Amino acid sequence: MRRLPSLNGLRAFEAAARHGSFTAAAAELHVSQAAVSRMVRLLEERLGFALFDRRANALALTERGRSLRPALTEAFDAIARQVEQVSAMRAGPVLTVGMGATVAVRWLIPRLSGFHIAHPEIEVRIATGGAGAPMNDDWTCAVLLGDGQWPGYEAERLFSSTMLPVCAPRLAADLREPADLAAATLLHVSHWAEDWPRWLAAAGADPTAAQSAAQSAAKSLSFGSYAMTLQAAIDGIGVALTPRIYIQDDIAAGRLVAPFGLAVPMSHSWYLVHRASRRQDGGFPAFRAWLHALCRETA
């Protein structure tokens, strides 16, 4: 239990100490000079020691007053900042959407302005998760890549994509046909190890040979996300196999090149995942409808 002296007394003392004047403190607090003087006097009686050395034409802090004032100023400033932040908070629904960082940055966020224009009253917060912790109960919903099986949750398929190899333009000159990948550095996401064997098999290698080719390339580098894999490709480290939806802007800008025309369907799709109990949470029905419409356009 906190045992605090009068907050009015503390405010009066802090203002008077900061201004060096009871009169200036009274103007700030919108009370009389006599009221400030009385509140400070009562505070001193409560504390059992003087805070000011009162002189005829001056007001000086005692040693204890000088020690107390900075902490009070910091505390009152912090309270004022917090009140301003809370006052500025939106009064409408807040929707927290969990998703992988790559799909958030490279797909949803560039399109999110359309939802804000249609529903300015709904605040959307993006929270990132990963394969190790694919769902969080603090989220209203999530957009996740998987097979549609999240026990205890409802999963609505949104869309899939195709996979294709991409690399920096300076590497593309040496990649005329898929067999040339044997001398390249293959970049892949650690928890999607089947991506390269599937693409190589579609390019004409049998499954066993495709697996062997993926493992016996000049070098093979593994990353924890498609975002890191794509950055390595942009930096010219090697060839990445990635969903088409992640790379459209990079190809258009010339940062990445797709040296082969072959694209293969992904083995998984993106789903909207949520608990049945949150189906009517504030903002979720509108976001769900908007997201499905967006995905129909994407598909």
Q: What is the DSSP string of 167-197?
A: B-HHHHTT-SSGGGGGGSEEEEETT-TTHHH
Q: Which of 86-95, 205-214, 245-254 has the lowest mean pLDDT?
A: 205-214
pLDDT at 215: 55
Count CA within 13 A, CB hemisphere, residue 292.
Answer: 10
pLDDT at 205: 63
Read off the pLDDT of residues 171-183 as tens digits, 9 standing for 90 and up: 998 898 888 888 8
Read off the pLDDT of residues 163-173 as tens digits, 9 standing for 90 and up: 999 999 999 98
Q: Does pLDDT of 40 surpass 80?
A: yes
pLDDT at 57: 74
User: Mean of the per-residue pLDDT values for the chain?
Assistant: 86
Q: Does pLDDT of 137 surpass 80?
A: no
Give the integer Cα–Cα distance in Å for 277 and 66.
56
Q: Which residue has the higher pLDDT, 218 or 11?
A: 11
Averaged pLDDT, 81-97: 77
Q: Does pLDDT of 217 surpass 80?
A: no
Read off the pLDDT of residues 263-273 as tens digits, 9 standing for 90 and up: 999 888 999 99
pLDDT at 204: 80
Q: Does pLDDT of 91 surpass 70?
A: no
Residue at token pair 């026990």 = 151
Q: What share of the chain is helix, strand, coil (3-state, %, to 5)?
A: 50, 20, 30
pLDDT at 193: 79
- pLDDT band for position 259 (50/70/90)? very high
pTM of the prediction?
Answer: 0.63
To which CATH superfamily is domain 94-157+270-294 assigned? Periplasmic binding protein-like II (3.40.190.10)
Averaged pLDDT, 30-37: 91
Q: Which residue has the higher pLDDT, 70 or 55?
A: 70
User: In CATH, what is the architecture of 162-265?
Assistant: 3-Layer(aba) Sandwich (3.40)
Element (H, E) at 106: none
Q: Where are the alpha helices (DSSP H) in the chain?
A: 7-19, 22-29, 33-47, 63-88, 101-103, 112-118, 169-172, 195-202, 207-215, 226-234, 248-253, 284-298
Q: Does pLDDT of 135 surpass 90?
A: no
Read off the pLDDT of residues 243-255 as tens digits, 9 standing for 90 and up: 998 998 899 999 9
Domain ranges in the chain are: 7-88, 94-157+270-294, 162-265
- pLDDT band for position 210 (50/70/90)? very low
Q: Does pLDDT of 45 surpass 70?
A: yes
Burial letters 142-172, b for 16+ CB under 10 A, else e: bbbbeeeebeebebeebbbbebbbbbbeebb
Same fold across 94-157+270-294 and 162-265: yes
Q: Indicate the class that CATH gives domain 7-88.
A: mainly alpha
